[in-house]
Homo-oligomer: A and B are copies of this chain.
Amino acid sequence: MESTLSVETGNLFAQLPTDLKAEVFETLVNAVQLRIERIVSKGQASPPDFWYDQNEHEWVLILQGEAILELEDRQVTLKAGDYINLPAHVKHRVAWTMPEQETIWLAIFY
């Protein structure tokens, strides 16, 4: 437990970045065993043949928009409210995000 933690508030839908040529990652909570990030995408995808292979587990929730995640054995379409739990070293990549609207992700690394 960190003594520096304080009561903090915010809104996941507020202050969306206007320059979305690249995805924008913002850390919301950063603790010893946990990191919470908001990710905003608009049409981005992982480069061809790029795969995430992470040391941390990741639990991801889509709050707005739509994305397609590619796993080694299947593709998963994610819309508002959809979540997926990706254990460490489950290889995945972002195959597609909606180009017309911001896709807002909540990602919890643990």
A contacts, CB < 8 Å to B: 1, 5-14, 28-29, 31-34, 36, 57, 59, 61, 63, 71, 76, 79-88, 90, 106, 108, 110
Chain B residue nearest to A35 (CB atoms) is B110
Which of chain B's residues have a CB closer than 8 A to the CB of A36?
A: 59, 108
CB distance from A104 to the nearest CB of B (A): 9
Which of chain B's residues have a CB closer than 8 A to the CB of A90?
A: 7
Interchain residue pairs A-B with the least CB separation, the first 7: A33-B33, A13-B81, A5-B87, A12-B81, A34-B110, A11-B81, A8-B85
Partner among B7, B33, B34, B106 whose Cβ is within 8 Å of the Cβ of A84: B7
The docked-state distance in angstroms from the alpha carbon of A6 to that of B61 is: 16
Partner among B1, B34, B88 whose Cβ is within 8 Å of the Cβ of A34: B34
The docked-state distance in angstroms from the alpha carbon of A73 to that of B41 is: 37
CB distance from A16 to the nearest CB of B (A): 11
The docked-state distance in angstroms from the alpha carbon of A31 to that of B110 is: 8
B61 near A9 with CB under 8 A, answer no
